[in-house]
Amino acid sequence: MVKSVNGNIYSDLITSSREELFGFYDDNTPKKFIVIHGMATVNFNGGMSGWYSNINPTGRQASANYCVSDIEIVGCVGENYGAWHCGGVGSITNQNSIGIEHVNSSNGNYADASTYLFSEDTLNNGAKLCAEICLRLGIPIDREHIVPHRDVYATACPQTLDIDDYIARVKKFAKGEVPNALPEQKEGIDMNGLLVVTKSDFGGAFAINRIFYWSISTGFIYMPDMACIDILNKQSQHSTGKNLLVYDSSLSSPWHLRMAQMNNKVKI
């Protein structure tokens, strides 16, 4: 199902739409592909506000049909228009594709795409939207029709987003299923994963914007390089069938106290 907002046709899954008139192509070309993007920022609204529009005529020459976060699916350019999102010049273009941007869960090094991560909720929101669009428009849910931005343009976008895992999520939503969410903490269960330190009072090596590998049972922590992370992820896929879990150590996270307890920073 769709909804119309000021002449823009959006999926009825949107939680809101932007008031700005962003850059677009007005040719109503049928949409045959979906291009997946990473915003390269944790600033959800700021990322969209930085695009060229009638409100911001000095903004970047960019736009997208949708932007998703943990809790929002925002319509930006209607599906009946072509957003300035992929710059493709081959079989996949701005005009014949729908662009979905995904906000990052942690700030990375702009020169190193491998340092930008995505939360489970954001990926699931994007995949749910993607599934609805595919079912409605008859777009096949496969690697040829749902593509990362880097497949159609010389870019690292969408950073660390695993497109095969993403498509698997889309297929589950299309079947009426829900991909596994981050499991709740349970005593006595070992949960290995990557800890993203977004805000820390641990001190010492636990500086903000660092990534650590950890085990909830042993507290064994070190800072892996990206090659090591790739190996750990493959081990996790082999043993559990899932990608390595990613935890947020922010003060609002339920893992923050547990992390502090493991490192004797607070009394229990």
Which is more confident, 252 or 95?
Answer: 95
Exposed / middle / buried, residue 71 (Cβ in 10 Å: 0-12, 13-18, 19+): exposed
Question: Does the pLDDT of residue 202 top 80, yes or no?
Answer: no
d(CA 181, CA 128): 13
Q: Where are the domains of the chain?
A: 2-174, 192-262
Question: Does the pLDDT of residue 71 top 70, yes or no?
Answer: yes
Residues 6+ apart with CB under 8 A from 224: 211, 212, 213, 232
Look at the chain and count its residues: 268
Task: Write the single-letter amino acid at 90.
Answer: G
Condensed to tens digits (0 to 9), the pLDDT of residues 217-262 reads 455 455 666 666 666 667 666 666 667 666 655 555 555 555 555 4
CA distances 256 to 63, 125, 217, 247, 262, Å, are 36, 25, 15, 9, 10
Question: Does the pLDDT of residue 46 top 80, yes or no?
Answer: yes
- For residues 97-126, give the mean pLDDT: 88
Question: Does the pLDDT of residue 144 top 70, yes or no?
Answer: yes
d(CA 156, CA 99): 15
How far apart are the two ends of the chain, measured CA to CA in Å? 51
**Helix axes 120-137 and 163-174, enclosed angle (nearest 10):** 60
CATH code reported for the domain at 192-262: 3.30.720
* DSSP conformational letter for 117: B
CATH topology of domain 2-174: Lysozyme-like (3.40.80)
Condensed to tens digits (0 to 9), the pLDDT of residues 170-201 reads 999 999 988 864 434 333 334 566 666 554 44
